[in-house]
């Protein structure tokens, strides 16, 4: 959860810097003499730093998240062995294998949720919203990055920055819901383990 929070901070910094660059390009389009080369260089450098921070923190978070996800999958086998549509190895490989990573983790997460839930926590609305935002972010983020890589004119650059900022917003929303998902599922498993010990 801490690393997801750090990802959110990195996204907020990228969003802030993207907005600054977006405004800078707008000024450049309106009046080329109103923007200095130093301003452009500084904005580019800060945006590159933001992008590097996003990649580093996202990779670190992904590793820790997948380890946690695998652990919850192993726990789910103890709670309810019948919820095993996929073998436990897919709790790791499901995130890595192309195409399969668009739905395998969601299926495994649903199995884990079902095995960990009690009568009060059967609804998977949180899981579904988190996964939907995660997929939207993946697709939209990829499209925004491709658009940014192909820009040529200042107008195209300005539009690309708008797309990248929207991608940052989707990523922030997905990370916030991921925090709630991690907290909820961890608590569900902890409570179920305590009930098992009491029995």
Confidence bin at 152 (pLDDT 50/70/90): confident
* pLDDT over 90 (residue 195): no
C-alpha distances in angstroms, 135 versus 21, 38, 89, 131, 141?
27, 38, 22, 6, 10
- Please report the pLDDT score of residue 199 as a whole number: 41
Provide the whole-model pTM. Answer: 0.85
| Helices (runs of H) and strands (runs of E) counted in the chain | 6, 0
Looking at residue 86, the DSSP 8-state letter turns out to be S
Question: For residue 30, which of 155, 136, 169 has the smallest C-alpha distance?
Answer: 155
pLDDT band at 149 (very low <50, low <70, confident <90, very high): confident
E-strand ranges in 108-168 read none
Provide the pLDDT for residue 96: 92
- pLDDT for the residue 34: 82
Residues 156, 161: Cα–Cα separation, whole Å = 9
197 pLDDT above the threshold of 50: no
Separation CA 36–CA 70 (nearest Å)? 51
Which residues make Cβ contacts (< 8 Å) with residue 159, sequence separation at least 6? 147, 151
What pLDDT does 13 receive?
Answer: 93
pLDDT tens per residue across span 41-85? 898 899 899 999 999 999 999 999 999 999 999 999 888 877 667
The percentage of residues in the chain with a pLDDT greater than 70, rounded to a whole number, is 97
Give the pLDDT of residue 148.
86
Can you tell me the distance from the alpha carbon of 48 to that of 42, in angstroms, rounded to the nearest whole number?
10
Name residues whose C-beta falls within 8 Å of residue 57's C-beta, 6 or more positions apart in sequence: 3, 6, 7, 10
């Amino acid at each position: 959860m801490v690393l997801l929070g750090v990802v959110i901070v990195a996204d907020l910094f990228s969003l802030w810097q993207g907005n600054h660059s977006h405004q800078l390009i707008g000024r450049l389009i309106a009046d080329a003499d109103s923007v200095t080369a130093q301003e452009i260089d500084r904005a580019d450098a800060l945006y590159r730093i933001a992008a590097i921070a996003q990649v580093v923190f996202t990779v670190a978070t992904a590793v820790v998240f997948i380890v946690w996800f695998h652990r919850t999958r192993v726990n789910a086998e103890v709670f309810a062995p019948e919820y095993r549509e996929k073998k436990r190895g897919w709790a790791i490989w499901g995130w890595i294998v192309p195409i399969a990573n668009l739905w395998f983790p969601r299926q495994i997460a649903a199995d884990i949720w079902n095995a960990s839930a009690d009568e009060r926590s059967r609804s998977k609305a949180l899981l579904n919203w988190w996964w939907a935002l995660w997929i939207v972010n993946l697709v939209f983020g990829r499209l925004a990055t491709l658009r940014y890589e192909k820009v040529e004119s200042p107008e195209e650059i300005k539009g690309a920055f708008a797309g990248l900022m929207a991608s940052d917003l989707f990523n922030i929303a997905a990370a916030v819901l991921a925090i709630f998902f991690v907290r909820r599922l961890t608590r569900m498993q902890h409570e179920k383990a305590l009930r098992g010990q009491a029995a």
